[in-house]
Amino acid sequence: MTMKKEFRNFGELLSGTELPLLVDFYAPWCGPCQMMAQILDQVRPQFQGKLQVVKINTDNYPDLAARYHVYALPTLVLFHDGEPIDRFEGVIRPEDLIGRIKTALANRLF
> 83 has which bridge partners?
80
Share of the chain above pLDDT 70, in %: 90
CATH at 47: 3.40.30.10
Choosing from 13, 30, 65, 97, the catalytic residue is 30
The residue annotated as part of the active site, out of 33, 36, 43, 53, is 33
16 or 4, which is more confident: 16
Q: Between 38 and 107, whose confidence is greater?
A: 38
Full domain range(s) for residue 53: 2-109
Share of the chain above pLDDT 90, in %: 70
24 or 109, which is more confident?
Answer: 24
Instruction: Provide the number of structural domains found in the chain.
Output: 1
Sign of torsion, CA 43 104 16 6? negative
**pLDDT for the residue 7:** 58
User: Has 23 been annotated as catalytic?
Assistant: no
26-75 per-position pLDDT tens digit: 999 999 999 999 999 999 999 999 999 999 999 999 999 999 999 999 99
